Amino acid sequence: MGRYQRKTDRQSWSQESMAGAIQEVLEGNMGYRRASKAYSVPQTTLERKVKEARQKKLSSEAAAVKMLGRYKTVFSEAQEKEFVQHLIHLEERLFGITLSDLRTLAFELAEKKQHSACL
């Protein structure tokens, strides 16, 4: 088997501990430094997530979601599952879909979703 060893400790905190730290700071029970030590989360990340929670009026659980990178997903989990089921249905009916067709279909679906969100 592979013997991969993680080379960094980035995002080694849990979402539950981050949510708890955010909640403590938002309620005013602890400061950033104290909450970061008590819940073992990075202070700068905690500050950024608390700022995001205050600006967007998010709950502590919603603000504590982990993300790597700056890009956000386009489709929700449910939409993605529905899309996969549609593709499986097409495959069962012997509609051959190429990778190019799949990408085009996903792009069109994302465009429609974006336009409906703007209305």
Structure tokens at 35: 């909450």
CA-nearest of 34, 31, 38 to 17 is 38
Q: Could you list the pLDDT tens digit for every one of the 119 residues in the chain?
A: 688 888 887 788 899 999 999 999 999 999 999 999 999 999 999 999 999 999 999 888 888 888 777 777 888 888 899 999 999 999 899 988 899 999 999 999 888 887 776 55
Alpha helices in the chain (DSSP H): 15-27, 32-39, 43-56, 60-63, 77-92, 99-118
Task: Match 């993680």 to its residue by tokens.
Answer: 6
For the chain, give every domain's residue range: 15-64, 77-115
Per-residue pLDDT at 29: 94
Tell me how far apart the alpha carbons of residues 52 and 67 are, in angstroms, rounded to a whole number.
Answer: 14
Q: What is the DSSP string of 44-75?
A: HHHHHHHHHHHHHT--HHHHT----SS---SS
Tell me how far apart the alpha carbons of residues 13 and 39 are, in angstroms, rounded to a whole number.
Answer: 9
Angle between helices 32-39 and 43-56 in degrees, nearest 10: 120
As its CATH architecture, domain 15-64 has Orthogonal Bundle (1.10)
